[in-house]
Amino acid sequence: MKIAFSTLGCPGWSWDEIFATAKDLGLDGIEVRGIENQMYAPKIKAFGAENARMTMERLKKAGMEIPMLTSGACLGAPGDTECFVQEAKDYIDLAARLSVPFVRVMISSYPDPRPEDNVLQAKGLYDKLCSYAKGTGVSVLIETSGSLADSKSLRNFMNGTDPETAGVLWDLHHPFRFYHENPAETYANIGQWVKYMHVKDSVIQNGQVAYRMMGYGDVPVFDALRLLEDNGYQGYVTLEWVKRWCPDLQEPGIVFAHFANYMTFLKNQLK
């Protein structure tokens, strides 16, 4: 089981600051969801034609990698979806050039389910993107968010998909928080497709989700890790600290260090 953080948690940091922190904390990888003011990974300077090779060699030398490029492509959104399809294709192309194994897509930009989520539309576009990724070494992961945080719906969504290029990003928080699923229920429905995991912690405060550092909320993280361990999972467990969207959250330097220590503690409990 490998450990990473998403750059969503450090919106003000440069690539050098991100790299140095991950290296100092002994993490296995860095998930890319925006760097500084640039959210579109294909336009990030560190991954441009003149810098990409140096960036990837530096990561490799430090014993790290980029496990996923996290796109903002929303396949079930209303209206013209061509911009989202093009974004996902651009991310797949970049991931192939960088030898990054996963690209994330979503049904919508909201973590909770919305009536406008179009599951049928999302399914059709997702299958097309999986076909586009064929032969690239990249898998397109659909996240457990929005209406697809319901693992029964996501199970139906994933049936018949291409095992080479399809997969699920299990964001543990959303099925638990919005559909009251325990990890065993979620895994029973979608475990065969899970290739990546996001973790974050929270509580319900005044009827609203309030994010907390790991271990200070009530999301059953350890139960999920035990399930993954028992089923031979060797992929990533990545902290998605949503500070870019919620600026009042604690600072990344504190949160990332706490996450690294907390995950070491939990992993030791699995032995």
pLDDT tens string 164-197: 999 999 999 999 999 999 999 999 999 999 999 9
pLDDT in tens, 204-234: 999 999 999 999 999 999 999 999 999 999 9
Q: 254, 167, 269, 179: which is closest to 221 by C-alpha?
A: 269
Q: What is the spatial distance between Cα 156 and Cα 150, in angstroms, rounded to a whole number?
A: 10
- Residues 231-254: pLDDT tens digits? 999 999 999 999 999 999 999 999
Structural domain range at position 78: 2-270
The confidence score (pLDDT) of residue 48 equals 95
The pLDDT, as a whole number, for residue 70 is 98
**DSSP letter (8 states) at residue 85:** H
Helix (H) or strand (E) run with residue 61 in it = helix 52-61
Q: Cβ contacts of residue 153 below 8 Å, gap of 6+? A: 119, 147
pLDDT at residue 198 tops 90: yes
Looking at the predicted structure, is the pLDDT value of residue 271 above 90?
no
Tell me the average pLDDT across 94-100.
Answer: 98
Instruction: List residues bridging with 189 in a β-sheet.
Output: none
Residues of the chain by 3-state class (helix, strand, coil), percent to 5: 45, 20, 35
* Tokens of residue 59, six digits: 């990561």
Question: Domain of 55: which CATH number?
Answer: 3.20.20.150
**Coil, strand or helix at 109:** coil
Q: What is the pLDDT of residues 9-21, one digit of tens each?
A: 999 999 999 999 9
At residue 60, the pLDDT reads 98
104-146: per-residue pLDDT in tens?
999 999 999 999 999 999 999 999 999 999 999 999 999 999 9
What's the CA gap between 135 and 96, in Å, rounded? 9
Averaged pLDDT for residues 84-103: 98
Question: How many folded domains does the chain comprise?
Answer: 1
> pLDDT tens across 21-31, in order?
999 999 999 99
Apex 110 CA angle, 109 and 112, nearest 5: 150
What integer is the mean pLDDT of 88-100?
98
